[in-house]
Amino acid sequence: MASFLIARLASALVVIFGVVCTVFLLIHLVPGDPVELMLGESAQPADRAALREALGLDRPLPVQLGVYLERLAHLDLGQSLHSQRPVAEVLAARLPATAELAVAALLVAIVTALPLGVLAATHHNGAWDTGAMGFSLLGVSIPNFWMGPLLILVFSIGLGWTPVSGRSGLASLILPALTLGTALAAILARMVRSSLLEVLNEDYIRTARAKGLSPAAVMWRHALRNAWLPVITVLGLQLGALLGGAVVTETVFSWPGVGSLMIEAIQKRDYPVVQGCVLVIAVAYVVVNTLTDLVYGWIDPRIRLGDA
């Protein structure tokens, strides 16, 4: 188990390092000068040169990358070019909103996907199966930037049940969570269905039925417990996509999270903030997937023995 854990942590560190370097280089290739955005087009060349030197933007790109990596090794994300506040402080103010949205979307996905997947598997090729898979197809096909405005038009503007945007209580969380959780629910429902269909044909399920157990006991105590492994894998992979999708959803609903912060920083060419946002999302993605690997290896010892 120790070698399995070390291998997963080492691969996670390599991925994070690659993401940091790639984002740093790409963000500096984006057209636009942060100094010009800060001072305006009418600024004197001497003022621009002085500010560029003060911010360290006059150095060669490899030197800037080395300085950034050195600061990152000391857990220093730098300062925002615009607000002059530490990036860690700016992110800390936005992280709770993103975490709240991610947890709510995950709950929506699980509460929706589990019953749909079970109904589709127990009524294979029936009406419930067709309806559940139709919902799954729609959920995967509809993008967040279309689903979000549609929900706003119906429930906020049309019915007046929820706020249009912002973070002002539980009511304002409903539509963003639905928008973000629907796609994940669709994928999970299909995975629960396919995994259960494989398990329900196993001999131990027939034995449990022959012993006189109720259908509910067979499903919840035997079938689902053995169908969780592929579902956990997909859930871990999709949690990272959930954070990526939060960028679009937070922008649509003006949700004050890390995703909307990153869009604002890109528009202002605020390099340190953009790098900090992407780093947080990448680290969260890698941590979730690493934990998924560890949980998978803990549940199924054959996985860690195969990697040992």
Q: Which residue has the higher pLDDT, 262 or 45?
A: 262
Q: Which residue has the tokens 């157990």?
A: 213
Lowest mean pLDDT across 98-112, 115-129, 235-249: 235-249
Alpha helices (H) in 160-300, listed in sequence order:
170-199, 203-210, 215-217, 224-252, 258-268, 271-299
Lowest mean pLDDT among 6-15, 38-47, 120-129, 211-220: 38-47
- pLDDT category at 305 given cuts 50, 70, 90 is very low
Chain segment 201-237, per-residue pLDDT in tens? 777 777 777 777 777 777 776 677 677 777 777 777 7
Query: Amino acid letter at 192?
Result: V
CA distance 265 to 215: 54
**What's the token pair of residue 97?**
């909103």
Predicted TM-score (pTM) of the model is: 0.76
Given a cut of 60, whether residue 304 has pLDDT beyond it is: no
**Residue 261: which residues within 8 A CB-CB, separation 6 or more?**
90, 91, 94, 273, 277
Instruction: Give 48-103 pLDDT, tens digit per residue.
Output: 777 677 667 777 778 888 888 888 888 888 788 777 888 888 888 888 888 888 88
Give, in order, the Cα–Cα distances in Å from 268 to each of 50, 61, 134.
19, 19, 42
Give the span between the Cα atoms of 303 and 300, in whole angstroms.
Answer: 6
Side-chain half-sphere of 72: how many Cα atoms within 13 Å? Answer: 16
Residue 297 CB contacts under 8 Å (≥ 6 apart), including other chains = 1, 4, 303, 304, 307
Calpha distance 96→215 (Å, rounded):
42
CA–CA dist 276, 294 (Å, integer): 26
What distance in Å separates the CA atoms of residue 10 and residue 72, rounded to the nearest whole number?
A: 18
How many other CB atoms sit within 10 Å of the CB of residue 193? Answer: 23
Q: Is the pLDDT of residue 288 over 80?
A: no
pLDDT tens digits, 126-170? 787 788 778 778 877 788 788 888 888 888 888 888 888 878 878
Q: Determine the Cα–Cα distance for residues 187 and 147; give it in Å rounded to an integer.
A: 16
**Of 138 and 30, more confident:** 138
Q: What mean pLDDT is reported for the chain? A: 78
> Which domains does the chain carry?
32-76 (no CATH), 92-307 (1.10.3720.10)
CB 103 within 8 A of CB 265: no
pLDDT of res. 298: 64
pLDDT at residue number 308: 47
What does the pLDDT look like over 176-208, one tens digit per residue? Answer: 988 888 888 888 888 888 877 777 777 777 777
